[in-house]
């Protein structure tokens, strides 16, 4: 993790954007989830479809995620590193989501998140998102 004294304003802005996105997921706020994603956004995800292109496809992927739980969802950033240049930034994080399963018992998933961002018209926008889980035997 970066030394907090050496974090740039752009790194703080990217971190805040990602934290706002995670908060929107917890609230099941589709507009908030989509707010900072570029129109030509691409995502690689754990459940099918393997690749989603564009905001409509991305929005549909959240329908599947929210159907996983019958109640509120915990969606936490455990650890996150951000690097930002003049026009491009990336972040990687370890995440945990948890919620009541369809049988009411808690279900949890630890996963990895990578986001790539571009500065578009002076604003950081998420251009690529990649979710993954460790391979199992």
Domain ranges in the chain are 4-132
5: confidence class by pLDDT, cuts 50, 70, 90: low
Please report the pLDDT score of residue 99 as a whole number.
76
Token pair belonging to 111:
């996963």
CA-to-CA dists, residue 111 to 14, 46, 54, angstroms? 20, 9, 22
Q: What angle do CA 43, 46, 51 make, to 5 degrees?
A: 35
Between residues 65 and 122, the one the model is more confident about: 122
CATH 3.10.450.50 describes domain 4-132: yes
Across the chain, where does the E strand assignment appear?
Answer: 37-44, 51-53, 74-84, 88-100, 106-120, 123-132
> For 45-99, how does the pLDDT look when each residue is reduced to its tens digit (9 = 90+)?
988 888 999 999 999 999 988 887 767 778 999 999 999 999 999 999 999 998 7
- Span 8-43, pLDDT tens digits: 999 999 999 999 999 999 999 999 999 999 999 999
Give this prediction's pTM: 0.88
């Amino acid at each position: 993790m970066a030394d907090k004294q050496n974090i740039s304003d752009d790194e703080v802005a990217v971190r805040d954007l990602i934290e706002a996105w995670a908060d929107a997921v917890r609230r099941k706020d589709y507009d908030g989830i989509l707010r900072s994603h570029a129109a030509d956004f691409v995502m690689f995800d754990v459940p099918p479809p393997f690749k989603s292109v564009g905001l409509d496809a991305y929005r549909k992927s959240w329908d599947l995620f929210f159907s996983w739980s019958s109640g509120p969802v915990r969606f936490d950033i455990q650890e996150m590193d951000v690097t930002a240049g003049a026009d491009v930034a990336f972040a990687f994080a370890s995440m945990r989501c948890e919620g009541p399963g369809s049988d009411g018992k808690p279900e949890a998933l630890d996963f990895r998140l990578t986001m790539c961002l571009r500065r578009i018209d002076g604003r950081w926008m998420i251009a690529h998102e990649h979710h993954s889980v460790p391979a199992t035997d």
